[in-house]
Amino acid sequence: MSVLPYPLLSASLLLMWMTLNSFSIGHFVLGSIIALFASWAMAALRPHRPRIRRWHLLPQLLGIVLYDIIRSNIAVVSIILTGRTTRRKSDFLTIHLDLKDTTALAILAVILTATPGSAWLEYNSVDGTLLMHVLDLVDDDAWTDLVKNRYEKLLMEIFE
């Protein structure tokens, strides 16, 4: 067992500790000790260790996601307030995902859920089938294209 089994986790914990308290030397030391023990506790659980291969694409992903969340917030607000029930069709959608990395899949689930108007329902890890529900499903292909090309492609570049 190495001294620092999960460097990213430890760094995030230290950063969180110092954001919650203050950026001082005392809290740096205290936070480091806590982060160190927490990462040892984590090592005992032996979770799958995520491997981020292309760090520089993360800001791009974050930007795309924040923009899409704003866009879909506006879309869902207009659906709820105008009460469009005649033209709107909400339906289930199955998508085949090529993404296999569990961390990347978790991030994709967070993205799809955080974006109002789409919800991740079920995923079959054997054949990579995802069942999702879309509030305003105008075009199946457009949604498949959005998930496959806008998110999955970028996530695959980052994690695989």
Please identify, among the stretches 29-37, 48-56, 76-84, 148-156, the one whose residues bind another protein according to the rule CB under 8 A.
Answer: 76-84
Is the CA virtual torsion 115, 118, 123, 129 positive or negative? negative
- Which one, 3 or 81, has the nearer CB to another protein? 81
- Which one, 64 or 119, has the nearer CB to another protein? 119
DSSP state of 22: -
- Determine if 16 is a binding residue for another protein (CB under 8 A): yes
> What is d(CA 119, CA 122) in angstroms, rounded to the nearest whole number?
10
- Determine if 6 is a binding residue for another protein (CB under 8 A): no
Q: Is 85 helix (H, G, I), strand (E, B) or coil?
A: coil
CA distance readout (Å), 93 to 10, 23, 27, 66, 158: 38, 47, 48, 23, 25
- Determine if 93 is a binding residue for another protein (CB under 8 A): yes
Rounded to 5°, the CA angle 118-87-113 comes to 5
Please identify, among the stretches 41-49, 51-59, 113-121, 151-159, the one whose residues bind another protein according to the rule CB under 8 A.
Answer: 113-121
Restricting to residues 137-156, name those near another protein by CB under 8 A. Answer: none
Which residue from 57, 9, 59 is spatially nearest to 34, judged by alpha carbons?
9
- Determine if 126 is a binding residue for another protein (CB under 8 A): yes
Number of residues that bind another protein (CB under 8 A): 40
Please identify, among the stretches 27-35, 50-58, 68-76, 148-156, the one whose residues bind another protein according to the rule CB under 8 A.
Answer: 68-76
CA 140 to chain centre: 22
- Which residues of the shown chain bind another protein in the complex (CB under 8 A)? 16, 19-20, 69-70, 73, 76-77, 80-81, 83, 85, 90-95, 109-110, 112-124, 126-127, 129-131, 133, 135
